[in-house]
A and B are shown apart, each in its own frame.
Chain A
Amino acid sequence: MEFRVLGTFANHGYLWPEDDFVAALKRKPDLIAGQGTNTDPGPGYLGLGINICGRYSVKKVRTQLIVNAKKAGVPFCISVGTSGCDDVLFGTELDIVNEVAKENNLKLKIAVISGEVDKRFITSAINQGTQIPRLIDHPRLSEFLTTKEVEDSVRVVAQMGHEPIMKALEHDVDGVITGRAMDTALFMAMPIQRGFDKALVAHMAKVMECGAITTVAKDPKDPPKNGALNGVFGVLRDDHFLVSPINSKQKCTVASVLAHSFYERADPFVERMPGGALNIADAVYEQVDEATVKVSNSKWIEEDYTIKLEGVRSIGFRSISIFGVRNTSTIAVIDVLLSRVRDAIRERFPPMVEGKDFNLYFHVYGKNAILGELEPITESNPHEIVVVAEAIAKTQDLSTDVAVNARVLFTAQQFEGRRTTAGNEALPFSPSEPPLGEAFVWNIMHRMPIPDPCEPFKMQIMEFPR
């Protein structure tokens, strides 16, 4: 038995090449799979209910995938929308699918599965005594999820496993589009349905879900234009799987495939998934040709079925001021000046209280913005720095007010060696204190046991054009 999978790069909208994808379709995949949801970009996307990419690029990658898949008669399973919440899935994402269908004269039947979980599903479980522990032992997360935290959150999504996708595939659909899902689930549903070994399926899914990140350039002096931003091809057999690139300038090596299993994971050997864990500690990797790696001996351990819940809560509204400084006499005393600004802001804003009604942060690029207190280099003489002042306050108007007053107070500071009495800073654009909208932090990152893998994830069969 053999099962062939064409894996795409992440489907948020990042522009992956169509030519390599079309060429790979000639290798006759049984499935096209790819993930397009992620918590890496931070809490803002889930909080605001927005996608990370603009309409142009999302439509371009959706068109490439759907039009070519339909033409080749290959079903697809993809997750979309970055945070994978309903606002994005049932908003822009399906609007774009509709446009793709219309503009390319396609009749599509697609199973759409929501990755957003009804808050009441979670709170009623908690009230009935279900314990929902935090995913990570970090003090900022409550040890066990509380109903208050669920209510405080803007919305909650969960990483669905492969079961809801398998159920969707029982309908005669062109493809499955999900909101938030476990990345591997998109790759696992079909082969598990066909009876392939779960451990191998899960391991191949894990290797493939980041696309060409698992490859390297054959010749570093002649690398492919798109680098790792490309797809990858997997061939699953009864007791092993093969993985190879879809771009001729790349190759998979034992080292590159192994290195990928380390990528953004705390544990390189065990990966927990809904319903079990993949253990690759004893997996065997062999280089079968210049570009292809064979993998075998992966293990699956059954566990109680749990899903990862993700949620964010609002901490107010954010505005920033970006101002550059080029006068070295000013740069020399930057810390002193910013400290004076902070003191002046404290005096200017009562009854608003710093730390309660607003917070003000200074990120000084050219000095220690990235490492902050951890920065080991304390002596340096940049000729140019940028200060990004960040104000977070209970209203948008107040956050802008704090940011602009901080900037103007900086502009006006008088000090020994000052030459430009016109102003201490250089502003790149206007308005100079842009409001960035509501600010969020992760408050839910917990693991919930559920009796039915499909229950929280609502599925609908939709036809396009609508």
Chain B
Amino acid sequence: MARLDTLARVIRSKNATPFLLTLDIFFENSESYERVKRSKALNKERLASLYRVPLEYVKAILFIDSARAVKMVLLKRTPSGDPGFADIYGNQQNVLLLDIEIE
């Protein structure tokens, strides 16, 4: 088992409009990318649970082989700028992905 943090070069989060959060993961080599893809650790249930949103808020989990990248998109619990949520640009929501254990 290895933490996702040790396998990927970039693990970032950013708003895509104030209502959607996009999470991008970029891998340095095919080995790590394929390992994560095979593990199925990045799935809708896991994301919904980590980000505490209903399952249907998870809009996409895309594995893009040509870029050795994963893009995940979910509706935000709290739209950006609404009071009570302290990450206007959505930059620091990536933290929840770092610890994901990959087989």
Roughly how many angstroms separate A361 CA and B17 CA in the complex, as a whole number? 24
A374 near B17 with CB under 8 A, answer: no
Roughly how many angstroms separate A450 CA and B85 CA in the complex, as a whole number? 35
A442 near B86 with CB under 8 A, answer: no
Chain B residues whose CB sits within 8 angstroms of the CB of A258 once the complex forms = 66-67, 69
Chain A residues whose CB sits within 8 angstroms of the CB of B18 once the complex forms = 39, 42-43, 442, 445
Complex: chain B residue closest to A390, CB-CB: B83
Complex: chain A residue closest to B95, CB-CB: A371
A140 near B67 with CB under 8 A, answer: no
Roughly how many angstroms separate A372 CA and B60 CA in the complex, as a whole number? 24
Give the A-B contact count at a CB cut-off of 8 A. Answer: 113
A39 near B17 with CB under 8 A, answer: yes
Given A140-B79, A439-B83: A259 touches B95 (CB 8 Å cut-off): no
Complex: chain B residue closest to A440, CB-CB: B81
Chain A residues whose CB sits within 8 angstroms of the CB of B51 once the complex forms = 374
A374 near B19 with CB under 8 A, answer: no
Give the Cβ gap from B78 to chain A, nearest Cβ, in Å.
Answer: 9
- Restricting to B2-45, which residues have a CB under 8 Å from any CB of A? 10, 14-20, 22, 24, 26
A263 near B75 with CB under 8 A, answer: no
Give the Cβ gap from B88 to chain A, nearest Cβ, in Å.
Answer: 5
List A residues at the B interface (Cβ < 8 Å). 39-44, 135-138, 140-141, 255, 258-259, 262-268, 312, 315, 318, 359, 361, 363, 369-374, 376, 388, 390, 392, 439-442, 445
- Restricting to B72-103, which residues have a CB under 8 Å from any CB of A? 73, 75-76, 79-89, 92-93, 95-96, 99
* 12 further A-B pairs in the complex, CB-CB below 8 A; given A268-B67, A361-B84: A40-B88, A42-B88, A262-B69, A268-B62, A268-B64, A268-B71, A359-B84, A371-B93, A372-B85, A374-B52, A445-B18, A445-B19
Roughly how many angstroms separate A96 CA and B27 CA in the complex, as a whole number? 45
Nearest 6 pairs between A and B by C-beta? A42-B81, A138-B19, A43-B81, A136-B19, A266-B16, A266-B73
Roughly how many angstroms separate A370 CA and B59 CA in the complex, as a whole number? 23
Partner of B86, one of A141, A312, A363: A363
Roughly how many angstroms separate A441 CA and B89 CA in the complex, as a whole number? 14
Decide yes or no whether B55 CB sits under 8 A from chain A.
Answer: no
B interface residues, tally (CB under 8 Å): 41
Chain B residues whose CB sits within 8 angstroms of the CB of A445 once the complex forms = 17-19
A376 near B20 with CB under 8 A, answer: no
Give the Cβ gap from A145 to chain B, nearest Cβ, in Å.
Answer: 15
Given A138-B75, A140-B19: A376 touches B99 (CB 8 Å cut-off): yes
Chain A residues whose CB sits within 8 angstroms of the CB of B81 once the complex forms = 42-44, 312, 440-442
Give the Cβ gap from A427 to chain B, nearest Cβ, in Å.
Answer: 20
Give the Cβ gap from A66 to chain B, nearest Cβ, in Å.
Answer: 29
B24 near A374 with CB under 8 A, answer: no
Chain B residues whose CB sits within 8 angstroms of the CB of A318 once the complex forms = 83
Given A140-B19, A445-B17: A259 touches B67 (CB 8 Å cut-off): yes
Roughly how many angstroms separate A369 CA and B99 CA in the complex, as a whole number? 19
- Sampled A-B contacts (22; CB under 8 Å): A42-B80, A43-B81, A135-B19, A136-B19, A138-B19, A138-B20, A140-B79, A140-B82, A141-B19, A264-B22, A266-B59, A266-B73, A267-B60, A268-B71, A359-B84, A370-B87, A370-B92, A371-B93, A372-B84, A390-B84, A440-B81, A445-B18
Give the Cβ gap from A227 to chain B, nearest Cβ, in Å.
Answer: 15
Chain B residues whose CB sits within 8 angstroms of the CB of A262 once the complex forms = 22, 24, 67, 69, 71
B14 near A263 with CB under 8 A, answer: yes
